[in-house]
Amino acid sequence: MEERHVGASGLKVSTVGLGTMTWGRDTSPEVGRHLLRGFVDAGGTLVDTAPAYGQGIAEKIIGKSIHTDLRRDDLVIATKAGFGLHDGRRVVDTSRRTMLTDLAASLRRLHTDHVDLWQVHAWGDAPLEETLEALDQAVSKGMARYVGVSNFVGWQTAQAATWQRALPGRAALVSAQVEYSLLARRAEVEVVPAAQALGLGVLAWSAIGRGVLTGKYRTGVPRGSRGALDHFSWFVEPYLEPKPRAITDAVATAAQGLELSPAQVALLWTRDAPGVASALVGPRSVAHLDELMGVVGQRLPGEITAALDDISGGPNVARHLS
């Protein structure tokens, strides 16, 4: 699989990354290990995780795999800190103490002395300079090789990146992780331009529209799908409205003409959008992983890309400048 530099940094990642948000809850440890093995066999390197995923189980699955059938150097491990679930409530705490405590716990679960990319999971109430000092400390101590932010809007991304560039010795941000797909193009308005202006690579999560762009919801909500699960239906429902349905139909039409699956077309569109270093996907089965890995060596024709741009929100300005 092709690799790209993350922004202007020396960090290189596979152009498709493996997301682990469902691991430990909807994806069993056994399936997770099979997915990880298959991903690496297909040439993938970037694995994205977080302490909040399965309340740490996702990281444990990765850690066990490193000690059984994978080498640490096979993976570019990206994890996060500052967000978790406590008594069923989502809690954001980006204080220096919590950030570093989260990282230490992640390293124990991952059975490694460092992560390749450590990210602030969400914008928090702690002073930004305090949160960023935690990133500096992690890099200076060798606990993280590179650092970035996740789920920041445009001005937050720019403020954090500029703060880190203001004085020598601070750990420069290298990445901005944000939801980005044919069904979620808001990132093009501010986040992607901020990232490109400041030398950050974009990690696009939910690259196939929270699974909706596979086309499996076109005739209803399939049994066993994320949309049918009580704890995930809220995540899928916004993309089942008429406009997202029209975009999904267009993707399915393009896929039929290209002899690809809708998921592959959607992934190719995101993977090759300007500024994207890696498109993150979260397959729940080995068969789905194999389907997604089938995009290796594929490119969408320019006219198909342009047509999908038009129907999903209009031309991508950055595409015409690149």
Return d(Cα 2, Cα 10) in angstroms, integer: 15
Q: How many CB atoms lie within 10 A of CB 109?
A: 19
Active site residue 239: no
Q: Are 40 and 68 in contact (CB under 8 A)?
A: no
Q: Which two tokens stand for residue 26?
A: 């909807």
Residue the block writes with tokens 């919801």: 217
Per-residue CA distances from 248 to 186, 197, 202, 263 (Å)? 17, 31, 23, 10
DSSP-derived secondary structure for 194-221: HHHHTTPEEEEESTTGGGGGGSTTTTS-
In three-state secondary structure terms, 124 is: coil
Q: What secondary structure letter does DSSP report for 142?
A: T
Return d(Cα 311, Cα 322) in angstroms, integer: 21
Q: H-helix or E-strand containing 280?
A: strand 276-281
Q: Give the number of residues written for the chain.
A: 322
**Buried b or exposed e, range 11-38, using 16+ CB within 10 angstroms:** bebbbbbbbbbbbbebbebebbbbbbbb
Give the active site residue among 53, 146, 180, 239.
53
Which residues are designated catalytic?
Answer: 53
